[in-house]
Chain A
Amino acid sequence: MPAAGDADATGDGTQGSRARAFEALGHGLAVWSGDLKLVTFNAAFARRFAGLAGGLAPGLSQRALIEAIEGSSQLVHSVPPEADPGGPPRLGPLDGLTLIFTDSQVLRVECRAIAGGEVSSLFIDITEYWRIQRALERSRDTAAAADQSKSRFLRAANHDLRQPLASLKILIYSCLSATSEQERIEALHAMDVSASIMEDLLGALLNIGQLDAGKVAARIQTFQVATVLDRLRIQFAHLAREKGIDLRILPSKHAIESDRALLERVLSNFVGNAIRYTDIGRVLVGCRRHGKTLRIEVHDTGCGIAPAHREKIFEEFFRVGGQQSGRHSLGLGLNIARRLADVLGHRITLESTPGKGSMFALDVPLGDVWRSNVGEPEINEKIGGEFTGLCCLVLEDDHHLRDALMTLLRRWGINVEIFDAFDDIPAALKALERTPDIIITDYRLRGGVHGTEIVHQINDLLELPCPAIVVTADTSPDLIADIRRQGFPVMIKPVSPPGLRVIMHNVLFEPELVPELS
């Protein structure tokens, strides 16, 4: 067969038509001799393989072409055809090959025997097909993983929830048939324990499910490690005290880069385990700086972990035989901790001496203190205003007005106390959670009682008099003058928030600006 470029030179019209079709094919096409040496090729083939070392001279073998392609910078890699023992034999090393190029084009080579013992190879562009196939494979893998996770989740749920559920059923029966109050209380207490275990198990299983589904994403920010240590102290102090364990959490001033919530979950797991597996002694949480890393360590004086188990304890559903009797453990906590640490990019270290105790540590990158987020979701007066944390006693028997005032005061960060009745002031005052810093009272309370009288009664009972503001709808000048003479600033209803704020500030912090107090 002549080369394509020579087609017209033959003067044969059919040959010319074939040559034009050869060029118009749109795919690369080459013709090889019986011994697989290049005879001719079309322009698409030439464009694809232009620039190969040695060029595309007739006589080039298929193997030499493959080596030239693989040695060039054009190819990412080639995929050989899947073995098909029952299928037709391959017509040379190119046959069935898939070539993936750096410009994203994907070609599949199909070889056919043609007349005269020659072989044609068509380089079919399957780029789109290849992309779709890869996407389908990824979706299939994700679906399979989710399915596997679901199955494991259900198996675990079935296995681990069955026991507390069975206990619960027995306990409900015991409770129903209890003959004494004591018996019923004991059964209810045990039911509460079983329900808590189920809650823990479901929580752990949910965590695993989320991790399996890839739904746990870290939100890395800079914050003070002290905020997490404080929360651990609050979370575990009671549990440690109940067990007689000395829980010590050493303060640290460092800023770190992590996800506050995920980090807390990992550390909670370490501290929870430390308390669970320590019968006598103490649990110590502290931080050490190593270069640009902060190592957060949780030490315990518990039973320790045998060398053979130090890696296995991080596996799903692994429980150390014998050590765990009487301790409810799903064998998921440390697996979750490690997987969360992986999500965060933090390294877990374990050191342990059986019979003496263990140390779990997490290495966290140190952060820039300027970037440290103090963890307040919104900056407003409730958390940072001048009145934040003060206590205000509101004496107002109109529920609507009282509710509106309480809402306003709480928005300013004030703790609000009220009296339900005004007939026994000493008892009402004693019932308050704390002594008020300021009183806001309506002048006319129900039953003909005046707010000023109540304030006088309160101040007679307090060591230090509490300042008060009187509000009234009565605009009689004589009345207002009388209230002022008693040393109370007066506001006329409806009370405006800025006006109230000015008077409250002055009464509390600049009393010399309040004429009634001078």
Chain B
Amino acid sequence: MSDDFIPIGGMVPLTGASPGDGREFRNGIILACEEINRRGGILGRLLKPSFADTGTQTAEETVRAARRLLAEGVHAIIAGYNIGSQNSEYEAIADAGIIYIHNNTLLQHHDTVMSDPVRYFGCFMSDPAEYWYGQGFIKFLSWLRDSGQWRPDNNRIAIVSGPKPYSIVIANAMAQAAEQFGWRPVFPPRILRRIPGDWRPLLDEIRAHEPAVMALTHFFAGDLARFHLQFMEQPLPSLLYLQYGALHRSFSELVGDKGRGAIVGTVIGLPRDEIGWRFFNTYKQRFGPEATPEIGCQTYNSLHHYAIAAAVAGGTAGPGGAEQNRRLAGILLDLPYRSVSGTIRYHPLWQAAVPYPDATNDPSLGLPHLFYQLRDAERPPALIAPEPFADAAFEAPPWLTPT
């Protein structure tokens, strides 16, 4: 076995607004490196991770982190999400000609890659764009309605977005798809330029429309918790959807049992199948009971997929090795990978994971868009859709159930 290590960059937010997620992203890379190295590395060369902090994930901080890693000569950069950079870091990475796999969950990735596929050959997003949250949620709602699991009083939906591009895109996608599926937005997506401390005036405004559904696409767990506690003071007669952050431990710690009944979705999570549980236990054993494998799985998946593609392509290359990295990128595109989160199959044009059932009807060819319903604080959220991943049934939220 060679002592000549392959340097792998981890570009993760270890300070700023999401250090918790950043730690998990780092853990995912560490665990994947350990597993790959135990099996002999990539064609006999061991992986050596190196991490750069992206702080508050602004363009400046993310680009600075990317440049630092490139200066170290990393052969690939693996990242969780850095969603404030608006793809600014792509330029430095494209100039270096290395592989970059992230989970930014942004539609911008499609646009950037498709604008110049030759230049951005190495940039991959190993989860689906946030756009699919919107369309997928409308299908989920319609499925609940059409299958008789939930009988809405009307077809009205109130959609509220935070100020981040991620939230805005999801809200717009929901509104766009709503009418086709028989839903009527009570107003165009309400984009909040500032997250309020007091949500009550907005909730009162929405209450006047009596919507059957309310969706909040802002995603910071703390903000969602504050919103939810105020929502529960006088609940709307609506099904409530909260964006991804409500799956965080910090959300359930803040809202306790009051969270029960809310719907939350994620386009990359950990299905409760044999593969998912095995990873769950391994991750907890390695990083402790407080660790969150549902987040760490993202970078873990990306690095394993990269290692397989690199072995098939005949090896890796650092900055300046675009020719070898183009071969590696071609294998990533050609070779679907059944990760612990489901199948990562890169779309040939978007270079982003294709979601199931949003963009493919075949669960073996897409990453499942999972819908959870929160239960009591001490119980894990129920995974209620889609088949064949669901392990529980939808329950009417307590505020919609006559006492």
With contacts A369-B143, A379-B131, A380-B114 taken as known, whether A496 is within 8 angstroms of B165 at the C-beta atoms is no
A20 adjacent to chain B (CB < 8 Å): no
Q: Is the CB of A369 within 8 A of B146?
A: yes
A425 adjacent to chain B (CB < 8 Å): no
A476-510: CB near B (< 8 Å → 1, else 0) gives 00000000000000000000111101100100011
Looking at A2-10, A102-110, A382-390, the stretch in contact with chain B turns out to be A382-390
Q: Which residues of A in the span 380-420 have a Cβ within 8 Å of any Cβ on B?
A: 380-381, 383-386, 388-389, 411-412
A370 to B359, CA, bound (A): 10
A505 to B179, CA, bound (A): 27
Chain A proximity of B180: nearest CB distance (Å): 4
Q: Is the CB of B59 within 8 A of A384?
A: no
Q: Is the CB of A369 within 8 A of B139?
A: yes
Contact of B86 among A372, A383, A498 (CB under 8 A): A498
Chain B proximity of A403: nearest CB distance (Å): 16
Looking at B103-111, B223-231, B245-253, the stretch in contact with chain A turns out to be B103-111
Chain B proximity of A197: nearest CB distance (Å): 35
B111-130: CB near A (< 8 Å → 1, else 0) gives 11011000000000000010
Contact of B350 among A379, A412, A511 (CB under 8 A): A379
Closest to B84 in A: A502
B311-352: CB near A (< 8 Å → 1, else 0) gives 000000000000000000000000000000000000001100
Q: Is the CB of B180 within 8 A of A374?
A: yes
* Cβ–Cβ < 8 Å partners of A386 in chain B: 165, 168-169, 172
Q: Is the CB of A498 within 8 A of B176?
A: no
* Cβ–Cβ < 8 Å partners of B142 in chain A: 253, 255, 369, 372
B19 adjacent to chain A (CB < 8 Å): no
Q: Is the CB of B193 within 8 A of A510?
A: yes
A415 to B289, CA, bound (A): 51
Q: Is the CB of B172 within 8 A of A388?
A: yes
B254 adjacent to chain A (CB < 8 Å): no
A12 adjacent to chain B (CB < 8 Å): no
A226 adjacent to chain B (CB < 8 Å): yes
A252 to B189, CA, bound (A): 23
A342 to B359, CA, bound (A): 29
B99 adjacent to chain A (CB < 8 Å): no
A512 adjacent to chain B (CB < 8 Å): yes
A293 adjacent to chain B (CB < 8 Å): no
B177 adjacent to chain A (CB < 8 Å): yes
**Chain A interface, number of residues (Cβ within 8 angstroms):** 36
B62-91: CB near A (< 8 Å → 1, else 0) gives 000000000000000000000001111011
B402 adjacent to chain A (CB < 8 Å): no
A501 to B59, CA, bound (A): 11
Q: Is the CB of B169 within 8 A of A227?
A: no
Q: Which residues of A in the span 258-290 have a Cβ within 8 Å of any Cβ on B?
A: none
With contacts A226-B180, A226-B182, A502-B59 taken as known, whether A370 is within 8 angstroms of B111 at the C-beta atoms is no
Chain A proximity of B158: nearest CB distance (Å): 18
B357 adjacent to chain A (CB < 8 Å): yes
Chain B proximity of A408: nearest CB distance (Å): 9
Q: Is the CB of A384 within 8 A of B182?
A: no
With contacts A374-B177, A498-B86, A498-B87 taken as known, whether A380 is within 8 angstroms of B110 at the C-beta atoms is yes
A512 to B163, CA, bound (A): 11
B361 adjacent to chain A (CB < 8 Å): yes
Chain A proximity of B263: nearest CB distance (Å): 16
Closest to A388 in B: B172
A371 to B108, CA, bound (A): 25
Chain B proximity of A492: nearest CB distance (Å): 15
Q: Which residues of A in the span 267-317 have a Cβ within 8 Å of any Cβ on B?
A: none
Chain A proximity of B92: nearest CB distance (Å): 11
**Chain B interface, number of residues (Cβ within 8 angstroms):** 47
Q: Which residues of A in the span 207-266 have a Cβ within 8 Å of any Cβ on B?
A: 224, 226-227, 251-255
Q: Is the CB of B107 within 8 A of A509?
A: no
Q: Is the CB of A380 within 8 A of B91?
A: no
Q: Is the CB of A379 within 8 A of B91?
A: no
Contact of B59 among A378, A498, A511 (CB under 8 A): A498
Q: Which residues of A in the span 400-446 have a Cβ within 8 Å of any Cβ on B?
A: 411-412
B14-38: CB near A (< 8 Å → 1, else 0) gives 0000000000000000000000000
Q: Is the CB of B107 within 8 A of A384?
A: yes
Q: Is the CB of B193 within 8 A of A509?
A: yes
Closest to A411 in B: B111
Q: Is the CB of B191 within 8 A of A509?
A: yes
Q: Is the CB of A510 within 8 A of B163?
A: yes
Q: Is the CB of B111 within 8 A of A384?
A: no
With contacts A370-B357, A386-B172, A505-B86 taken as known, whether A381 is within 8 angstroms of B180 at the C-beta atoms is no
With contacts A496-B91, A502-B88 taken as known, whether A512 is within 8 angstroms of B194 at the C-beta atoms is yes
Chain B proximity of A294: nearest CB distance (Å): 12
Chain A proximity of B345: nearest CB distance (Å): 15
* Cβ–Cβ < 8 Å partners of B173 in chain A: 384
B386 adjacent to chain A (CB < 8 Å): yes
* Cβ–Cβ < 8 Å partners of B361 in chain A: 370-371
* Cβ–Cβ < 8 Å partners of A372 in chain B: 139, 142, 180-181
Closest to A369 in B: B142
Q: Is the CB of A498 within 8 A of B91?
A: yes
Q: Which residues of A in the span 346-376 have a Cβ within 8 Å of any Cβ on B?
A: 369-372, 374
B135 adjacent to chain A (CB < 8 Å): yes
* Cβ–Cβ < 8 Å partners of B108 in chain A: 381, 385, 501
Chain A proximity of B371: nearest CB distance (Å): 11
Q: Is the CB of B386 within 8 A of A370?
A: yes
Q: Is the CB of B179 within 8 A of A370?
A: no
Q: Is the CB of B182 within 8 A of A385?
A: no
Contact of A253 among B115, B182, B191 (CB under 8 A): B182
Closest to B162 in A: A509
* Cβ–Cβ < 8 Å partners of A496 in chain B: 88, 91
A94 to B240, CA, bound (A): 81
Chain B proximity of A380: nearest CB distance (Å): 5
Q: Which of A226, A253, A379, A509 is the most central at the interface, judged by chain B CB atoms within 10 Å of its CB? A: A379
Q: Which residues of A in the span 448-499 have a Cβ within 8 Å of any Cβ on B?
A: 496-499
A412 to B114, CA, bound (A): 12
Chain A proximity of B133: nearest CB distance (Å): 11
* Cβ–Cβ < 8 Å partners of A385 in chain B: 107-108, 111, 169, 172
Q: Is the CB of B163 within 8 A of A509?
A: yes
Contact of B111 among A224, A251, A253, A412 (CB under 8 A): A412
* Cβ–Cβ < 8 Å partners of B169 in chain A: 384-386
Closest to B147 in A: A369
A499 to B163, CA, bound (A): 18
Q: Which of B129, B146, B155 is the most central at the interface, judged by chain A CB atoms within 10 Å of its CB? A: B146
Chain A proximity of B111: nearest CB distance (Å): 4
A380 to B110, CA, bound (A): 6
Q: Is the CB of A384 within 8 A of B172?
A: yes
Contact of A224 among B59, B129, B181, B191 (CB under 8 A): B181
A159 to B333, CA, bound (A): 56
Q: List 5 A-B contacts (CB under 8 A).
A: A370-B139, A379-B110, A384-B172, A384-B176, A386-B168
- 19 more CB-based (< 8 A) A-B contacts, given A384-B134, A501-B108: A251-B182, A252-B182, A369-B143, A370-B139, A378-B349, A379-B131, A379-B350, A381-B107, A381-B111, A384-B107, A384-B131, A385-B107, A385-B169, A498-B59, A498-B87, A501-B86, A505-B86, A510-B193, A512-B194
Closest 4 CB pairs of A and B: A253-B182, A498-B88, A386-B168, A224-B180
